[in-house]
Structure 1
Amino acid sequence: MTDLNPSFFGRMSIAFGTFFSVLGNAEFAGQVKRLREAPAAAPAPAPSKPVAPTLKEATPEAALQLLGLLQRDARFIDFVEEDIANYTDADIGAAARLVHDGCRTVLREHFTIRPVRDEAEGSRVTLPDGFDATAIRLTGNVVGKPPFNGSISHRGWKVADVRLPKLADSHDASVVAPAEVEL
């Protein structure tokens, strides 16, 4: 059975996977863009029987490029791969602050990220029939049909623009951080 209310880390995994799919697959990103730009007042007619989605393998280059940028500017992989069991909370907090600042720099330099909903978290909202279910996930006791009344527990995020550097054909994107040899 599919968990309709995944944990924070489950949601993070879904978000990263979707994010990298959009980055690595231009056709998928175009489909997401067209879906998001479709007028909300004109919902598509429901198909008579569910159609199985066509799954395509995403190319990893954009995901690897982003991982390389996060490593270069935030030492992200170093931080995640470090065994922190023997460090104090203060040491971990200091390292996390540096990683956070670097990650934030990378995101702001290479992406324009906007909230899905403009209302503040905790605000009451009504979701009409035909709301964008790809941009809004219902949680809690979901029964019946729209309109749904609830409160925003997370505004969501969407990427409005991507500005990743162009890569040369000879670039090996799998090397996200080269080994360093000091002479």
Structure 2
Amino acid sequence: MKAAHPSLLSRISIAFGTFFAVLADGDLAARIQALRSGEQRREPAAPPAPPAAAARPAPPPLLAAAPDGALQLLGLLQREARFIDFIQEDVAAYGDADIGAAARVVHEGCRKVLRENFRIEPVRDEPEGSRLTLPAGFDAAAIRVTGNVVGQPPFTGSLTHRGWRVRETRLPQLASGHDLRIVAAAEVEL
């Protein structure tokens, strides 16, 4: 079965994408040149695999974070706490009392957003400053060891921060077509 020809707009998009790809990738440029001249080009041989003893496990692939939840949270923080307004403001010209008063409003609004949309709990239950021992196999994603880290667990040290874990997320549902990139609409008073 013969592939359908791309539309004119698709071909323009392919042309622009290929133009920049050829500039960035010499091997791709050589393959396209060979294709245009009708030559058959052999692919370069793959480099030899490293010996098994020297092989390291491949790192896990990185996952792209979907921005929707972050944008929605930023919009909630702006609506309830004027968070973006506060952070974007140059506070150097204001006195400490003015900044403190504004921070109180921002703090209460941010706290409201967290309480209404998340169930957050400490990673560790011990009070900060407590002495504890981390056994071998402790969860390194939940506990970061700092200071003079030497050797293998068990590690004994002081809890400097209990950490936070989100147990439940309850972000509001969105209307179809809602543009999450608008975290605060411009306001015009008539």
Task: State the TM-score bracket (shorter-chain normalisation).
Answer: 0.7 to 0.9
1:87 aligned onto 2:94? yes
Q: 1:65 Cα shift?
A: 0.3
Aligned-partner Cα distance in 2 for 1:137–1:128: 13
Given candidates 174, 177, 180, the residue that maps to 2:184 is: 177
Aligned-partner Cα distance in 1 for 2:125–2:57: 32
Aligned-partner Cα distance in 2 for 1:179–1:123: 49
Give 3-state SS (helix, strand or coil) of 1:85's partner.
helix
Instruction: Give 5+ residue unaligned stretches, structure 1.
Output: 1-47
Equivalences for residues 88-107 of structure 1 within 5 A: 88-107=95-114
% identical equivalent positions: 69
Instruction: Give 5+ residue unaligned stretches, structure 2.
Output: 1-54
- Does 123-132 or 163-172 show the bigger shift? 163-172
Q: 1:57 Cα shift?
A: 1.8
State the AA in 2 paired with 1:136: I
Partner of 1:162: 169
Partner of 2:139: 132
Partner of 2:63: 56
Given the two structures, how large is their TM-score scaled by the length of structure 1?
0.72
Q: 1:52 Cα shift?
A: 1.4
Aligned-partner Cα distance in 2 for 1:126–1:155: 14
Aligned-partner Cα distance in 2 for 1:49–1:167: 44
1:76 aligned onto 2:83? yes
Q: Which has the larger radius of gyration?
A: 2
Aligned-partner Cα distance in 1 for 2:60–2:176: 31
Aligned-partner Cα distance in 1 for 2:184–2:101: 22
1:114 aligned onto 2:138? no
Aligned-partner Cα distance in 1 for 2:56–2:138: 20
Given the two structures, how large is their TM-score scaled by the length of structure 2?
0.70
Q: Deviations along 1:74-95, whole A, 9 cap, x unmatched?
A: 0000000011111001000100
Q: 1:154 Cα shift?
A: 0.2
- Total equivalences in the alignment: 136
State the AA in 1 paired with 2:115: R
Aligned-partner Cα distance in 2 for 1:126–1:109: 35
Aligned-partner Cα distance in 2 for 1:168–1:56: 27
Aligned-partner Cα distance in 2 for 1:52–1:161: 29
Aligned-partner Cα distance in 2 for 1:82–1:107: 23
Q: 1:58 Cα shift?
A: 1.5
State the AA in 2 paired with 1:59: A
Q: 1:53 Cα shift?
A: 1.8
